[in-house]
Chain A
Amino acid sequence: MAQVTLRTVVKKYGALQVVHGIDLDIDDSEFVVLVGPSGCGKSTTLRMIAGLEPISGGEIVIGDRVVNDLPPRHRNISMVFQNYALYPHMTVRENLGFSLKIAKRAQGEIDRAVDEAAEILSLTEYLDRKPGALSGGQRQRVAMGRAIVRHPDVFLFDEPLSNLDAKLRTQMRTEIKKLHQKVKSTIVYVTHDQVEAMTLADRIVIMRDGHIEQIGTPLEVFEAPTNTFVATFIGSPPMNLLEGRVAQDAVALANGITVPVPEAFRAHVTDGQEVILGVRADNLMPVGHAMPMEGAHAAFDMTVNLSEPLGTETLLFATLAGEEVQAKMLNPRPVASGEQLRFQLDLTRCHLFDAQSRQSLR
């Protein structure tokens, strides 16, 4: 059990700087997910916490110790790797007990810890197999088991589910969440999958190009993204962004379409300001197939270019103000390409960003 604190942590490879002085406070037994596109520095950050990469500047604190110069074995952490990183020449039992054996614990204690971990992860019947004889999901569980037998201060997960097929991934996601509720350790989890981030995290850290873009609970980053990057990265399908200009409490989009400035942003915009209107597909729905919109809303006609039926809802691709946008149709009926529909836009859930800085105007 421990807090983890990063203070202006920097990583450079020669002249190339990949992490630009990030600050992060992780509470005891908190589940924090670092998420971002490839090359955003999230894995590097995790490896710096683990001690597998030396840091080029700043300070990393685990518990009450500055661990900058400590090798991984003195940090009391455990890590689950993307490729599982199991020891192929050891059985599952030996894999699970390896760290305790290295720590020279008594054999009885090792056996108890291994049995307990195997029990939690339903690996008991595979204990005498070697990793080569296990399926992907089982290997993943062994990797997790190896991490939990040590009761470390901090668990580090490096994209642990990305090698599993979609069904198994969902299943293991649930297991990881259950595991966290059971062991109550601090977890730092890296993924590029925003769904994983949303479902698992107490707090999400969204990274891009070695900077932190936003830190917040899943709902915070979903409902109040601080910039257009977070807005499009979190949520599926990505938020629609439409360029416009503020004129008399309305946003004038292309092709003469205007949308009233959402209530929450009124005080933060001035006439003539260039803005970007952010609209999620969930808040843009055909009349008669929409969630009830109690607050302010706008309505306009759009031509549907394409529809993707998903069963409980249908995703519609339509043109609004010269841009292709995505909308959702609840309680769907078949929609033909080229069909014109009237759409409702929930203004209370719209976002406004500055066109230059691309930061939220709230």
Chain B
Amino acid sequence: MTRPRLPAWFVLLLPAFIVLAAVVLIPLLLSLYSSFTSYRLTRPETLYNWIGTFNYEKAVQSAHFWSAFGRTVLLLTIALNLEMLLGLGLALLVNQVTYGQRLLRTIMMFPMMFSPLLVGFQFKFIFNDNVGLVNNALQSLGLTNVAIPWLVDGQLAFISILVAEMWSSTSVFAILILAGLFAVPRDPIEAAKVDGCTPWQSFRHITLPYIMPFIYIALAIRSLDVARAYDIVQIMTNGGPARRTELIWTLIGRTGYVDAKMGYANAMGYISIFLAIAFTIYFFRKLNAARAELGMGG
């Protein structure tokens, strides 16, 4: 008598299935389910109160949601472009350095070593209207004698957050683009010089196509980062004052944990995920196109 045996492939894959189900699949399904309920953290029994697509309809019709969504897209667009340009400039400069380049590369990575929470606190202090460095500097230089409300005025607060975001993450671009610059072969650059290119033309026509894949990788990584931006904003302005700097995830976080409307928060979360997925798909398409340009397959 032999007991019926499970097929080997199934047994071998089972541990992976169990772990994935426990940590990813079940929470994912649960949150998806809860977005169709009126689930409130303070009233656990509401988890079973099915309300259909009500939460989604509410989110889609909410001006707060869309303004936070729009602000997130705006922050993403501006931060990514500026970080890319600054990072490219930084990488090109460091690439020219022959002596002490290792040290510079290490220093360049310092901002990446700090917790975003600490970066938030630091910039909250720098932009403080009374004791902050920026206002002190501007006043000492005689450029202004008023205390500029950096973190209170809606547009200034957005710029302050942008500065903090860029300070902490420009080096991601710089490091990845520098890696790209290291991989650019010397021959085509020299051929371009002989073919009559000025340094700018060599960069534009030869170097840039070589580093585009690296730029798109950095953009893909950073677009996910910024799309889930939470910590710096939470510390610097807490989305305020009066929702002037509200981003998607500060809004969702407040809805879920402060207002305890977890079902509604999950519904907004699922809509927002599409933002991140859309950007990722976009940049990966671009990445593959850039790689195909270079004959790298893809």
Contacts and interface: CB of A to CB of B under 8 A. Distances in A.
Given A73-B198, A98-B205, A132-B295, A85 B193 contact: no
A227 interface: no
Contact of B193 (A71, A98, A103, A131): A71
B205 A72 contact: no
Interface in A16-35: none
A130 B197 contact: no
Contacts of B295: 88-89, 130-133
Contacts of A72: 190, 193-194
A157 B210 CA distance: 25
B221 interface: no
A78 to B, nearest CB: 6
A83 B185 CA distance: 10
Interface centre among B190, B201, B210 (most CB of A within 10 A): B190
Contacts of A50: 194
B191 interface: yes
B198 to A, nearest CB: 7
Interface string B40-55: 0000000000000000
Contacts of B201: 102
Contacts of A77: 194
A103 B294 contact: no
Q: Which of B187, B201, B209, B210 has the most CB of A within 10 A?
A: B187
Contacts of B210: 89
B241 interface: no
Contacts of A83: 185, 187
A89 B185 CA distance: 13
A81 B197 CA distance: 17
Contacts of A52: 190, 193-194
A261 to B, nearest CB: 52
Interface string A148-167: 00100000100000000000
B206 interface: yes
Nearest to A76: B196
Nearest to B206: A87
B191 A79 contact: yes
A89 B187 contact: no
A9 interface: no
A243 B88 CA distance: 65
A92 to B, nearest CB: 12
B197 A102 contact: yes
Interface in A83-108: 83-89, 98-99, 102-103
A81 B190 contact: yes
A85 B187 contact: yes
Given A52-B190, A79-B191, A81-B191, A88 B196 contact: no
Interface of B: 185, 187-188, 190-198, 201, 205-206, 209-210, 293-295
21 contacts: A50-B194, A51-B193, A52-B193, A71-B193, A73-B193, A73-B195, A73-B197, A73-B198, A79-B190, A79-B194, A81-B187, A84-B187, A85-B185, A88-B294, A89-B209, A89-B293, A89-B294, A89-B295, A98-B195, A102-B201, A150-B195
Given A87-B192, A89-B294, A132-B295, 20 more contacts: A50-B194, A72-B194, A73-B193, A79-B194, A83-B187, A85-B190, A85-B191, A86-B191, A87-B205, A87-B206, A88-B294, A89-B209, A89-B293, A98-B192, A99-B196, A102-B205, A103-B196, A131-B295, A133-B295, A146-B191
